[in-house]
Amino acid sequence: MSKDLASFHEALLQSKRVLAVCGAGLSASSGIPTFRGAGGMWRKHNALELATPEAFRKDPGLVWQFYSLRRHNALKAAPNAAHYALAEFARQRPFPEFLTLTQNVDGLSEGAGHKGKSVEFLHGSLFRVRCARSWCRYERFDISDPITPALAVPEGEEDGAWRDVPIEGLPKCPECRTGLLRPAVVWFGEELDSQMLKRIQQHIARDPVDLCIVIGTSGTVYPAAGYASQVKAQGGKVAIVDIDCSVRGDDADWLFEGDAARVLYLSTFPLSDTC
């Protein structure tokens, strides 16, 4: 395994097909906490335990407060150099040459101009809401902050002070008028969009990917965690960019330890000097 940026950059330029797989570490230097790092707690609640359909059924007010806070903080955050570098690379090497798969729901890739066919949002978006009733298909894009007055994040409480929010204070579905709205993100135990998964598999199978860059993800959640191995099994190379590579990279060809924004902007994508 190599730490040599020059050989990595050369491989990047030579690759016909490049896949980036991103996680929370991509947005860390924009101030968005990761899931399994120190910021992955909200008050006494583990962020991972709130991201479930069971938690929403049990206490929708609690789960909505958590998501209202995440929406509020994501709207205040700005994309960092890594988001811009990936967006710029996507402009230079349009789909199908370059495809990004991101697990992030914070809207920062879109904010950097990384949109369209060249990026798939595996876990949805904080800024889409849908009816929680499985039979109601209502969904909309929504960046209102707060989404209801009861879910306003009080000034100075951006770390998330908890209040009781009665069910009447939560957003309702305007279509069926019986369900609550919920964030259109993928929660634990839920299926990812099957059409999207099919598109990704077809993309990887159609022409082998030469290089997969894994950026700021602990590699614990599938299917995202499996794409690099799939690329490797098809003969492609793998590079990992992460602030902590201590337990990573057994089968990586390159391993770059550091902040994604710094590594991607300064070294990985030197072509992205328009940031």
Rounded to 5°, the CA angle 43-48-50 comes to 65
Task: Choose, by CB under 6 A, the member of 20, 24, 74, 99 that binds ligand OAD.
Answer: 24
Eight-class DSSP state of 121:
E
Query: Shortest approach of ligand OAD to residue 224 CB, angstroms?
Result: 7
Stretch that binds ligand OAD, among 20-28, 107-115, 160-168, 193-201 (CB under 6 A): 20-28
Each residue 121-150 as x (binds ligand OAD by CB under 6 A) or -, in order, gives --x---------------------------
Contact 70, 63 (CB under 8 A): no
Instruction: Rule CB under 6 A: say whether 221 interacts with ligand OAD.
Output: yes
Surface-to-core class of residue 45, CB atoms within 10 Å of its CB (0-12 exposed, 13-18 middle, 19+ buried): middle
3-state secondary structure of 112: coil
Each residue 162-191 as x (binds ligand OAD by CB under 6 A) or -, in order, gives ------------------------x-x---
Query: Shortest approach of ligand OAD to residue 235 CB, angstroms?
Result: 25
Tokens, residue 41: 């707690």
**CB within 8 A of 237, min separation 6: which ones?**
11, 210, 211, 212, 231, 253, 254
Task: Choose, by CB under 6 A, the member of 170, 260, 265, 272 that binds ligand OAD.
Answer: 260
Residues 54-83 touching ligand OAD, rule: CB under 6 A, are none
Is there a catalytic annotation at residue 123? Answer: yes
Instruction: Rule CB under 6 A: say whether 242 interacts with ligand OAD.
Output: yes
Stretch that binds ligand OAD, among 24-32, 111-119, 170-178, 198-206 (CB under 6 A): 24-32
As a whole number of Å, the CA-based R_g of the chain is 19
Backbone φ, ψ for residue 186 (5° rounding): -85, 125
Instruction: Rule CB under 6 A: say whether 29 interacts with ligand OAD.
Output: yes
Task: Choose, by CB under 6 A, the member of 48, 136, 180, 266 that binds ligand OAD.
Answer: 48
**CB within 8 A of 115, min separation 6: which ones?**
109
Tokens, residue 18: 């490049």
Backbone φ, ψ for residue 214 (5° rounding): -100, 120
Provide the annotated active-site residues.
123
Q: Give me the residues that bind ligand OAD (CB under 6 A), please.
A: 23-25, 28-29, 34-37, 48, 51, 103, 123, 186, 188, 216-218, 220-221, 242-244, 259-260
